[in-house]
Amino acid sequence: MKIAIVTGGSNGIGKATALELGKRGINVILTYNSYKDRAEAVVKEIEKNKGVRAFALKLDLTRISTFDGFVLDVKKSLQDIWNRTTFDYLVNNGGVGGPMMFTEMSEEYFDKILNTNYKGPIFLTQQIVGFMEDAGAIVNTTSSSKNQSFPGYSVYGSLKAAFSTWTRYIAKELAPRQIRVNAVSPGPTHSNFGDGVFDKHPEFIKPLAEQSVFGRIGQPEDMAKVIVSLLSDDFGWVTAQDIEVSGGHLL
């Protein structure tokens, strides 16, 4: 009976990952920030899989002061639902995006990207890794933008690069417990990322699709399958890696 915690699990890649975990018989605690109704809908969908349970908890990655309470909620859920005091997998997926040119960048924007995409996940992991099972696994969601230079993404791409580097360091530190830590770097993906930029501007899709060797942009399910596979024992000899999942974008 495996249990995974997925941050940002109410939509996009996090939702697809939570659903994929459920399909493979893995129980899920997923987090949401603003959309409780969406999170509860994901829970219901997961629990259509026989014998699989799921639960949704609110988490604001920018408010580290609330992490103590979140940890207590996680431990209570583990005990009440699964009669467990530990969990097995962590997917650090929660994050925010959206471009802002360097010359126009505000401190508020910088802090939001920093706290949600980098500082928050690091301190959350610090809080909960103590009751992760030995030989567990962590997957961090970074971004292919860490290796590219699209205008407006200087802060986002830089912090995703930092998150990728942190993945390697923490993989080394957690190795004595046989915990594997890897990352995936999604390329352009049709999710609600960036406040639903592709739904608001479908004209962005075609040029990005033409930059992929497969002629399309990614779907959340493309990322989810790789994330869940990395958690599994099939990748038991893989750690400290950041795998680009972009369909050969800009290859």
Residues annotated as catalytic are 156
List all residues 6 or more positions away from 116 whose beta carbon is below 8 Å from its beta carbon: 61, 62, 94, 95, 96
Q: Give CA–CA dist 162/212, Å, rounded.
A: 25
Place of tokens 């890649």: 13
Q: Give CA–CA dist 23/164, Å, rounded.
A: 28
Distances (CA, A) of 153 to 97, 99, 109, 143, 220: 9, 5, 11, 11, 21
Residue 144: phi, psi to the nearest 5? Answer: -65, -15
Q: Give CA–CA dist 174/89, Å, rounded.
A: 13
Q: Radius of gyration (Cα) for the chain, nearest Å?
A: 17
Alpha helices in the chain (DSSP H): 12-23, 36-46, 67-82, 107-114, 120-128, 154-174, 193-200, 205-210, 220-231
Q: Give CA–CA dist 30/91, Å, rounded.
A: 9
Give the residues across from 89 on adjacent strands: 4, 137
